[in-house]
Structure 1
Amino acid sequence: MVPAELLELPFHGTEAVAQGLLTPDQLRSSAWRRLFRDVYVHRDVPVTHELRAVTAASMVLPGAVVSGRSSAVLWGVDLAGTDHDVELTLPPGRHPVRTTGLRVRRAALADADVVRRRGVPATTPEATAIGLAARLDGDDAVVAVDRFLARGLVDLAPLRARAATGTGPGSARARAVCALADERSESPQETRLRLLVVRGGLSAPVPQFAVRVDGRFVARVDLAWPEHRVAVEYDGLWHAEPGQFARDRQRLNRLQAAGWRIVFVTAEDLDRPGELVARIARALTEAGRVHLPGSRERA
C-alpha cells in the first residue's frame, strides 16, 4: 500500500527508503516518476514545469532563485513546457552546479528583485521580464514582455525606464525589446504579426482597436489602421463551435457596413512575410483611394 505522505508531494527517494516507507524495488516501480536525481513523485501527480521549478528550488538546490522562463511560469506566463530545463540563479560565490534537468546561472540579484512565489524564492515580474528581454532571441523576447504586460504583472513605462538605466550584457537588447513591447497585444501570434508588419515597412498598427460608429461599439479587431479603416485579424475568426460561424459572419458584416476592410491572416501566412505585408499594403493603398462617409480622412 502506498504511504499517504508520498501520494501528493515530491520526496527524496533515499529518505523514503531509509524511513522504511518504500523498498528500493518499490521505488523503481512504475508507481513513481523521477523528477530529478533522488527526487520522485507519485505517478498520479500531474508533472508540470511549475512543479519541477518549485521542487528544484526547494529540494535540489535550496537557496537558489527561480528565474528566467521558469519564474515566468510561476507568475502565470507559460513560457516553458514540462520538458524544458528549470532555470535557477545562484549567488556568484556558489560553486557551479550541473544537474540534469536544471539550467543554473550565477548572478548577483538585488534583494528587491526576489520575492517568494509558490513557496520558493523567485525573481519579481519586473526583474523576470527584463531578464527575458535581455537574453531571449528575436521576437521571442518581445512576446515574453508583451505577455507580462497583458497579464498586468508589469507596467510598460517603469519597465522601459528600468531598461534605459540597465548596464552589462544584454542591456542594449533589453532596451530595444522594451521599446517594441505593447501591452495591448493579447497573444504571442498577435505580437509576431505586429512586429512582422512594422519590419515590412508599414506604419505601426493599433492592437486590439475598438471600432465604434457614432459612439456605438461595433467590434474589437486584432490590429488596426483607424485612419484607413483597415484591420488585420489573426486566424480568420472562423471557429468550429456550433453557431460560431454565423456570429463571426454577422460581426464581419457589421465591420464592412462601417466601412472597414478586413485582412485575414493564418499561421501559414506568417511563413510568407513578404506576401503578407504586400497584401496588407494593398489593402491600405486601396482604402486610401475611397472616401468613407462620416470620416474626415481618406480611408
Structure 2
Amino acid sequence: MFRGSLVVRAGLLTPAQLRTSAWRRLFPDVYACTTADVDHGLRAHAAARLLLPGAVVSGRSAAVLRGVDLADRDDVVTLTVPVSCRAGAVAGVSLTRRALAADQTTVRHGTRVTTPVRTALDLARRRPVEDAVADLDRFVRSGRVDLAAVRAAAAGLTGRDCRQVRQVAAVADGLAESPQETRLRLLLVRSGLPAPVAQHVVRDGGRFVARVDLAWPEHRIAIEYDGAWHGDPAQFRADRRRLNRLTAAGWRVVFVTATDLHRPDALVARLRRLLDAPRSA
C-alpha cells in the first residue's frame, strides 16, 4: 500500500503508470498492488495509516482487525479521529470525532486500533439497536472481550448514545451463533413470551442429546433458526438424526426461517399456542 502522490514525486512511477491495471485504487491517492488480497482489514490499515495518519480504527472495522468478521470487504471503514481533525467526507470511510484516552487504543500490526472494550462500546452505538446487539453478541462470543467488562464500562459512560450503549450491553448475552439468532431472541423477549434459554443443552437420562439455539426446557420446546438449506447429503442425514434424537427425548422442535422473522405476529402466535398446549407426561 502506498500514497500515489509520494511515489510519483519520488520518480518511482509516472502518473500514467499509476493509472494502469497494475495498481488498485483503495481511497483517494491510496493504492495497492492488484495482486494484493484486498479485504476489509487491509482497507482499514490503508485508511488509518495512509489516508488519515493518526486515525484509530474503531467499531466494526476494529472487530475485523481482531479477527471477528463483522464487515465485508467493501463495507465502509470506521475510524475515530480527534475532535480537531478537519478531514472531510471520504467515500468508503465513516469518521467519528471523539477524544480517546490513551488506554482506549493499542497498536495492532502497525495500526492504531481501539481496545476490545472500547470496540465493544462502539459496536453498541450502531443503529438500529437490533444490529448493535447482534454485533456485540458476535464480538463477545468470539472471546475477544468479557461481557461483564463491557457492561461495567457502559455503566460509566456519559454523553451521546450512552443510554443506548447501556441498553445494548444489558440485553446482549454473547451466546448466539449468528445475527439472526440474536434477532430471533430479541423478538421473543419483546413479544411477552417467557424468556427462552439460549444455547440450551438437551439431555435425556443424563445422556447428551443436542444443543439447541433457544429453548423452553420446562415445555420441552426447542427453537432452531434455519438459515440455509443443508444440501450436502452427509449434513442432511446428520440433521435428521439430531432431530430424531430430540423427538425421541420428548422435545418438539420449531424451525424458524428469515421469512418467519418478517412475519413476527404469526410466529409469536404459533409459539404461544405451543406453550399453552397441555404438556405430555
With the length of structure 1 as denominator, give the TM-score of the two structures: 0.89
1:178 to 164, 169, 177: 169
1:203 Cα deviation after fit: 1.3
2:72 and 2:228 map into 1 onto residues whose CA distance is 27
Supply the distance in 2 between the matched residues of 1:261 and 1:37 (Cα, whole angstroms). 56
Matched residue type, 1:112: D
- 1:140 maps to 131
Larger Rg computed on CA atoms: 1
**C-alpha displacement of 1:97:** 3.4
**Number of the residue aligned with 2:107:** 116
- Is 1:215 paired with 2:206? yes
- Aligned counterpart, 2:270: 279
Counterpart of 2:256 in structure 1 is: 265
Superposed displacement of residue 22, structure 1? 2.4
Q: Post-superposition shift, 1:41? A: 1.1
Structure 2 distance, partners of 1:55, 1:252, is 47
2:185 to 187, 190, 194: 194
SS at match of 1:146: helix
Runs of 4+ in 1 over 6 A off after TM superposition: none
Select 1:241's aligned residue among 224, 232, 252: 232
Out of 194, 211, 214, the residue aligned to residue 203 of structure 1 is 194
Q: CA deviation at 1:259?
A: 0.7
One-letter amino acid of the counterpart of residue 76, structure 1 = G
CA drift of 1:242 comes to 2.2
Displacement after TM superposition at 1:236 (Å): 7.3
Displacement of 1:237 in angstroms is 7.8
1:249 counterpart SS class: helix
From 73, 85, 96, the counterpart of 1:94: 85
Q: Distance in 2 between matches of 1:237 and 1:135?
A: 26
CA distance in 2, matches of 1:121, 1:13: 22
CA contact (8 A) 1:11 1:40 kept: yes
Matched, 1:228 2:226: no
| 1:284 Cα deviation from its structure 2 partner | 1.6
Q: Is the 8 A contact 2:219 2:279 kept in 1?
A: no
Structure 1 41/223 Cα, relative in aligned 2: closer, same or farther at 3 Å? same
Partner of 1:23: 14
Aligned to 1:290: 279
How far the C-alpha of 1:172 sits from its partner, in A, is 0.6
Q: 1:66-90, CA deviations, whole angstroms, 9 ceiling, x for partnerless residues?
A: 1122112212222222222222112
1:54 maps to 45
Distance 2:182 2:227 in 1: 16
In structure 2, the CA distance between the partners of 1:140 and 1:67, relative to structure 1 (3 Å rule), is: same
Which 10-residue stretch deviates more, 144-153 or 228-237? 228-237
Any conservation in 2 of the 1:238–1:248 contact (CA below 8 Å)? no
Q: Secondary structure at the match of 2:124?
A: helix
Q: Does residue 14 in structure 1 map to residue 28 in structure 2?
A: no
Moved more, 207-216 or 128-137: 128-137
Which consecutive residues of structure 1, in runs of 5 or more, have no partner in the other structure? 1-9, 293-299
State which of 152, 168, 175 in structure 2 corresponds to 1:161.
Answer: 152
CA displacement at 1:93 relative to structure 2: 2.9
Q: Structure 1's 84 and 249: CA in aligned 2 closer, same or farther, altered over 3 A?
A: closer
| Structure 1 pair 236–171 and aligned structure 2 pair: CA distance change class (3 A) | closer
With the length of structure 2 as denominator, give the TM-score of the two structures: 0.94
The runs of 5 or more residues in structure 2 that have no matched partner are: none
SS in 2 for 1:243: helix
Residues of 1 paired with 2:279 and 2:83: CA distance?
63
On the 8 A contact 1:79/1:144 being kept in 2, the answer is yes
* Shift, 1:14, TM fit: 2.3
Q: Percent identity?
A: 57
